[in-house]
Structure 1
Amino acid sequence: MKKPNIVLVVADQWRADSIGYTGNTATVTPNIDELVEEGVAFSNAYCQLPVCVPSRSSFLSGWYPHTKGFRTMHHLMGDEDPNLLRTLKENGYHVYWGGRNDVLRLDADVDKYCDTRNDKYLEMFSKMRELKEKQTTIPVTEENKEHDYSHYRGIIDNPNNPDKLQIDNAIEFLNNKVYGDDPFCVYLALALPHPPYQVGEEFYNQINKGRIPAPTRLTEEEWEAKPSILRGIRENQKLYNWSDEQLKEMKHVYYAMGTELDHYIGGLVDKLKEKNLYEDTLFIFFSDHGDYTGDYEIAEKNQNTFEDCLTNVPLVIKPAKGMEVKPRVTDAMVELIDIQATLLDLLEITPNYTHFGKSLKDVIKGEDKHRDVVFAEGGRLEHEEHCMDAGHSPANEYWARTIEQTKMPHHAKAMMIRNEKYKYVYRLSEQDEFYVLDEDPMERKNQINNAQFSSIIAQFKERMLKHFFETADVVPHRHDKRF
């Protein structure tokens, strides 16, 4: 039998609580929510490192960031590394790759990973960056005059988002049927809702302003127990000068950016249905990581902090016809590296490399238990200056975050372990973190020094040691010849 077609849509920086199926009633995501009616949505899906390149390298390789050092923005994958797209191509799939790279090194042979590559996106993305640099920031008032954060743009005219161009080209690929009789994989690495926070009025007006939650703000006592890099970013961005209404306005625009992406995804789904391809297509939507969006008086992301707004991401799997499925939203604990394992299992592909994902096939069928814990990590050692995403001037929109990566212990290595109730963060060079999530879902109160939880913390440390022991390296699936 012909294998099912595959569509993988990867959003950039979309937090899980900003989508309809997780219960957010302010945002509007009808097309993604419709996929949930036919598939399985995950409320407890977690990325393995909360910035773009390491997260994508992880879910495409099936390796944790520490397995081979894929934990920075500057260390990419090569032809010697496993990659889901190459595995699919080697197993008979015509692979269309559209959108961002954020994965492969310049010396990688792109033809090994895809049959069709859309470079118009790159040209459009460059033009969009030029336009974004000309946009004005939020109006300066007496209340916020001291802020120097420039990534908020608000409502703009004719945004010409490159994601629309990318979806249109993917639709053109489906119309042209260049894949012939081969099953196809459409891999779309899109840009929304990545900052700058800007959107057209059409999508802005769809958001229910009255239902946008107030931003999470910490007391000074609570801030003292947070890691130094988070305190540094907050000080640099100066969003503490913004009122609750202004921070809610940032979230309003961010939600609308998600609505915009949902609209484009709807166009792709409509084309699959028009071409009678939808039922035979395994459709997977997820995000590489989340976004602070004004919570904790911070915007964007960070490389070695692990609040749920950064690590908890949307994930929806709509199986193809003939695959057993129990449609629902499940609270099973899953990791993004499980996506690759699931595809390989469903397609009955045996990879020629070791990976650490765990297939979600049984969860798709109806099981609601998967992993006992999930992990995320980031940071560097003190001498690893090559691991910094630094060098921006204070005028650059990323300076507020990347300047903190030049400091220690700010950018020191850290790892999160989390289950349904607790979250523990081991920090190499400063105080650890521990949160009781059912009582404190916004992770305001670090209880690392509360003796009541010492036995649970010890269990998490032991579990983390086991995790490192199991995933610290991989042995190639070959026997090398001696000379």
Structure 2
Amino acid sequence: RDLSQHFHIIALLLVLIASIVLISISLSVIFYPQTPMKKTKELIGDAGVTFSNAFTATPLCCPSRSSILTGKYPHNHLVRNNSISGNCSSTAWQKEAEPFAFPVYLNKMRYQTFYGGKYLNQYGSKDAGGVGHVPPGWDQWHALVGNSKYYNYTLSVNGKEENHGDNYEKDYLTDLVLNRSLHFLEERSPNHPFFMMLCPPSPHSPWTAAPQYQQSFSDVKAPRDGSFNMPGKDKHWLLRQPANPMPNSSIEYLDNAYRRRWQTLLSVDDMVEQLIKKLDSIKELNNTYIFYTSDHGYHTGQFSLPIDKRQLYEFDIRIPLLVRGPGIKPKQALQSPVLNIDLSMTILDIAGVNLSTVNMDGQSFLPQMAPSLRNGTERPFFLIEYTGEGNSSEDPSCPKLGPGLAECFPDCVCEDAFNNTYACVRTLKDANLQYCEFADNESFVEVYNLTSDPHQLENIVKKVDPALLQIMNQRLIKLESCTGDSWTFAYFDFNLKYDCALLH
């Protein structure tokens, strides 16, 4: 490939990245075939590649977004949860991680960079520099202060506070991000490539749809997949708490939440369509890579849990990933596993950065999308990790639960706890297997054979051969200790093969 040719990149995170555009949202891939985003599927997925095995390194907003920006696992970038004390957009993060995030490298390659929408949950906090802090690497900065909102929010616009109300035409955040990205495309210099990262609030709560979409999907319900309204009797203690079967009132709430999430996504679908029309009109579409992905999955009633993420199961750790761009054949469906920590390395690879000079945990998947550009190596296994959040005091409405819990619902079902801290090794190569260890008093372990049990209904830890458990434990230890260059696959002993007979 002629690296003198620089492409544009748009990332929709939803994340847009050529030019490179990255679009990013919070969306479970388990239910992606039922997505309301028909235009996005046609304009990005059908026009390029769909990755059927894309995963987040950690199923929570701030740690996952930090992994996307740095190309590192949470145990290396040290963002553990959505709080400043958990290093989310803290001064330590700003000093130690942001200067090495991928936009800094793009800026050095003379990319014109634009950010619009949600950044990190604690961004703009007075305890961490306020709205005046603009991360390095961004030429145009239009970032939401705090967590997702659709109206009545504050932006940092290149370091200056900008307040918004509840007027749809002027303030609806998804549309505002679109309009400012279109303006950026009009005003940019044609002499340099560009990168845009667009992060609308959809489909995050409070699920405020645009007026024209508030009556859509009246018949849509939360998917009744194999684990919906099922008990978590053999799982970590947190999963054993929800009432089962769920009461009708809970199911009605889940259906309504799911429907409203879909409604918010229709504006994102419009965003994708308008961006692609604009790129086509300025004759840059064929020079632009467009990424569409998410920071984590989501659950709505699986194992009788309410609505959230944070758990180790497929519905929370799988993410959508669609990419189109130069050299990518249309209508590809790739099975190779990719992680959100790979996005940064892939973007830098497209931009022509010498990857040997970059200290990240991820690897470029550009060779998988466009094999003619370079031969790639498929990872045989990978790490999923999460650090649980909890409150030091008990919830007044649920005193029997005691302290250490978080995200509790009125019926005293909680989504998180301090000891909901786990690390998993996941493999697709020799066996479709997941092995997870919890950092709790039980040293609880969960193991799933996803070939025979795709909905993870049965924890088979007591049924598998101890030799397999030992192999998985050793791989997990190595994965949790790796950083940067030590992620090369030569680090691992591949003579340790899975014997499928050990699974029975």
**TM-score normalised over the length of structure 1:** 0.77
- Does the Cα contact within 8 Å between 2:118 and 2:146 map onto a contact in 1? no
Q: Measured at CA, do residues 125 and 172 of structure 1 come closer, stay the same or move farther in structure 2, by a change above 3 Å?
A: farther
Partners of 2:392 and 2:10 in 1: CA distance? 35
CA gap 1:89/1:438 in 2 versus in 1, 3 angstroms: same
- Is this contact kept in 2: 1:28–1:207, CA < 8 A? no
Distance 1:353 1:186, change over 3 A: same
- CA-atom RMSD, angstroms? 3.7
Shift of 1:455: 3.4
Structure 2 residue aligned with 1:318: 324
> In terms of mean alpha carbon deviation, does 247-256 or 164-173 score higher?
247-256
Structural mapping, 1:322-361, within 5 Å: 323=327, 325=329, 327-350=331-354, 352-361=357-366
Q: Report the alpha carbon displacement of residue 441 of structure 1 after superposing the two structures with TM.
A: 1.8
How far is 1:231 from its partner? 4.2
Corresponding residue number in structure 2 for 1:377: 385
Residues 7 and 187 in structure 1, CA contact (< 8 A), matched pair in contact too:
yes
Q: In structure 2, what is the Cα distance between the partners aligned to 1:31 and 1:85?
A: 25
Secondary structure at 1:447 match in 2: coil
Instruction: Classify 1:266/1:109 alpha carbon distance in 2 versus 1 (closer, same or farther; 3 Å).
Output: same
2:151 to 114, 118, 128: 128
Q: Is the 8 A contact 2:382 2:479 kept in 1?
A: no
Q: Which moved more, 1:278-287 or 1:430-439?
A: 430-439
Query: In terms of mean alpha carbon deviation, does 87-96 or 27-36 score higher?
Result: 27-36
Q: Aligned partners of 2:191 and 2:262: how far apart in 1?
A: 39
Offset of residue 214 of structure 1: 1.7
How do 1:369-408 residues align onto structure 2 when only pairs under 5 Å count? 370-379=378-387, 388=390, 399-400=407-408
CA shift, 1:296, in A, is 2.6
Tell me, in whole angstroms, the C-alpha distance in 1 between the residues paired with 2:322 and 2:246: 33
Partner amino acid, structure 1, of 2:223: P
Pairing 1:3–2:9 present: no
Structure 1 pair 407–243 and aligned structure 2 pair: CA distance change class (3 A): closer
- Matching residue within 434, 455, 458 for 1:423: 434
8 A Cα contact 1:394 1:400, kept in partner: no
Identify unmatched segments of 5+ residues in structure 2.
Answer: 15-24, 154-166, 398-405, 488-504
Structure 2: how far apart are the matches of 1:212 and 1:407?
A: 25
Choose which of 304, 308, 316 in structure 1 pairs with 2:314: 308
- Percent identity, please: 19
Q: In structure 2, how many angstroms separate the alpha carbons of the residues matched to 1:335 and 1:209? A: 34
Q: Secondary structure at the match of 1:374?
A: strand
Tell whether the 8 Å contact from 2:120 to 2:146 is kept in structure 1 after alignment: no
**Aligned position for 2:249:** 242
Q: Number of aligned pairs? A: 426
Structure 1 residue runs without a partner (length 5+): 131-156, 381-386, 476-483
**Pairs within 5 Å for 1:257-272:** 257-272=264-279
CA–CA separation in structure 2 for the residues paired with 1:272 and 1:365: 21
Please tell me the residue identity of whatever aligns with 2:362: G
Secondary structure of residue in 2 paired with 1:332: coil
Counterpart of 2:66? 57
Contact residue 290 and residue 325 of structure 2 kept, 8 A? yes
Q: Is the 8 A contact 2:238 2:414 kept in 1?
A: yes
Looking at structure 1, the residues matched to 413 and 30 of structure 2 have their Cα atoms a distance apart, in angstroms, of: 29
1:328 positional shift: 0.8
Offset of residue 86 of structure 1: 1.3
Equivalent position to 2:195, from 169, 173, 185: 185
Matches within 5 A, 1:109-128: 110=134, 112-119=136-143, 122=145, 128=151
Distance in 1 separating the partners of 2:391 and 2:11: 28
| Structure 2 SS opposite 1:460 | helix
- The residue number in structure 2 matching 1:436 is 449
Q: Which has the higher contact order (CA 8 A, sep 6+)?
A: 1
